[in-house]
């Protein structure tokens, strides 16, 4: 008998904790592997862990994670039913004084980390994959894409799986004032509601 998806994920997370496939492990506290049920039908992909995720060892637990949780709530999606992970699993940053500032991963780092993402896909076999932000969407599409083109509609990722792209929750936090923050938040939760409805239409009847 083969290994169960749950055990496979646990084994993967253990292996990933020792990952040296790119240099990012050197300055990160720990690997931040995906989190959620092995039987999840919906998977969500961010870019990479931030400062707080790096310390906690869990994805989306910092400020962007709180925005995501709130938007998921408003959209009627339960975080506990979704598998959430990142395209890159170590925190890339530069130290400025006492702060650790996020830096975008480069193509090499993304390519090396894809190895783990592919294994998460294989273990979970999600029906629907939501990309949070253009970097995750480009990783899933296998080529650079912009949210202006891809956002808000049913997509087919490079591997043929169905999906959806929306803004990264940190885009809400970067808005310059309350009004634009509220609008960006509304658009994120509206997108997630739409993603849920598309995912439901694809998963109904699939058990």
Contacts of 164 (CB under 8 A, 6+ apart): 128, 129, 130, 131, 152, 153, 154, 155, 191, 194, 195, 198, 199
Task: From 5, 76, 77, 41, select the one nearest 202 (Cα to Cα).
Answer: 41
Our finding on whether 54 is near ligand URA (CB under 6 A) is no
Our finding on whether 47 is near ligand URA (CB under 6 A) is yes
Side-chain half-sphere exposure of 98, counting CA atoms within 13 A: 0
List 31, 54, 60, 134, residue binding ligand URA (CB under 6 A) = 60
Our finding on whether 166 is near ligand URA (CB under 6 A) is no
Our finding on whether 35 is near ligand URA (CB under 6 A) is no
Residue 35 or 157: which CB sits closer to ligand URA?
35
CB of 65 to ligand URA, least distance (A): 6
> Tokens for 109?
């780092």
List 86, 138, 166, 189, residue binding ligand URA (CB under 6 A) = 86
List 34, 59, 126, 163, residue binding ligand URA (CB under 6 A) = 59
């Amino acid at each position: 008998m083969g290994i169960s998806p749950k055990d496979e994920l646990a084994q993967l997370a253990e292996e990933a904790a020792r990952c040296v496939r790119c240099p990012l492990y050197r300055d990160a506290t720990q690997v931040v592997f995906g989190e959620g049920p092995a039987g999840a039908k919906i998977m969500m992909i961010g870019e990479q862990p931030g400062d707080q995720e790096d310390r906690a060892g869990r994805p989306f637990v910092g400020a962007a994670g709180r925005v995501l949780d709130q938007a998921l709530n408003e959209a009627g999606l339960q975080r506990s039913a979704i598998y959430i992970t990142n395209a890159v699993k170590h925190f890339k940053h530069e130290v400025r004084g006492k702060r650790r500032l996020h830096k975008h991963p480069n193509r090499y780092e993304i390519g090396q980390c894809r190895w783990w993402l592919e294994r998460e896909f294989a273990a979970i076999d999600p029906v629907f994959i939501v990309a949070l932000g253009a970097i995750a969407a480009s990783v899933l599409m296998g080529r650079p894409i912009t949210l202006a083109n891809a956002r808000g509609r049913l997509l087919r990722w490079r591997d043929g799986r169905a999906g959806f792209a929306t803004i990264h929750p940190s885009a809400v936090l970067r808005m310059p004032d309350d009004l634009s923050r509220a609008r960006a938040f509304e658009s994120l939760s509206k997108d997630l509601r739409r993603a849920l409805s598309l995912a439901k239409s694809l998963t109904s009847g699939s058990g």
